[in-house]
Copies of this chain bind each other. A is one copy, B any other.
């Protein structure tokens, strides 16, 4: 009988110190053999292998890819109002460094943390529903930089066969203690992604027999305006949470 651990996928989480990185490290740590990437090494002890690297420098990124099956690429500047210079260095140059290093290391798949802000102007103009194949309308340098990441991933997939799944993440927050119309904004609530659903949609993106795609990642909110039909059908995602219906596992 094979060692159970020997068949676990080796999954690298870049930007593991961020909010979503912390969620995925905690919730996917039993399923996968994780390597955690941080910009600077954390001081506390960690249950998983970890490495520090500045993703804006190619030579630092290459070593973290060795032996990896799937990269969950979360590293970058996560601020919607990030200034151009930071979006350029962390999200554009950092994305190239990650894809190129992954390609050279023979990584099977990249799951890219994209964002609803790639399409944020549809939301600002209340032009709903938003389908994932509409022309992009970013609402920020951040959104433009994530659209760049989606397009570079498409190129790497088409040109070199690197598998690439982009998840356009909605409003990621811990669950409210109880449903409330006072929680966040109307648009925020409608695009809420619970920690539990977030971990599940990333797991689906790692496992699905789909070599390329761009998908919305939002919980099962009844007032959702972003199409997740593809996420459900192609990735097998089954959201369990809604801002109107939270429980102890929502996170």
Across the interface, do B158 and A151 meet the contact criterion of CB distance under 8 Å? no
Copies in the complex: 2
A140 at the B interface (CB under 8 A): yes
Choose from B136, B139, B155 the contact partner of A138 (Cβ within 8 Å). B155
Mark out the residues of chain A between 116 and 165 whose CB falls within 8 Å of any chain B CB in the assembled complex: 121, 124, 133-141, 143-144, 147-148, 151-152, 154-155, 158-159
Task: Contacts A88-B96, A96-B88, A133-B135 given; indicate if A144 touches B151 (C-beta within 8 A).
Answer: yes
Across the interface, do B121 and A158 meet the contact criterion of CB distance under 8 Å? yes
Report which residue of A121, A144, A155 has the largest number of chain B beta carbons within 10 angstroms of its beta carbon: A155
A137 to B156, CA, bound (A): 10
Closest-CB distance, A168 to chain B (whole angstroms): 13
Contacts of A124 in B (CB 8 A): 158
Choose from B96, B158, B214 the contact partner of A139 (Cβ within 8 Å). B158
A93 at the B interface (CB under 8 A): yes
Total interface residues on A, CB under 8 Å, equals: 28
25 contacts between A and B (CB under 8 A): A84-B96, A84-B100, A88-B92, A88-B93, A88-B96, A92-B92, A121-B154, A121-B155, A121-B158, A135-B154, A136-B151, A136-B154, A137-B154, A137-B158, A138-B151, A138-B155, A140-B155, A141-B155, A143-B155, A144-B148, A144-B152, A144-B155, A147-B151, A148-B148, A148-B151
A93 to B93, CA, bound (A): 11
A133 to B93, CA, bound (A): 27
Contacts of A140 in B (CB 8 A): 155
Contacts of A158 in B (CB 8 A): 121, 124, 137, 139
Across the interface, do A155 and B133 meet the contact criterion of CB distance under 8 Å? no
Contacts of A143 in B (CB 8 A): 155
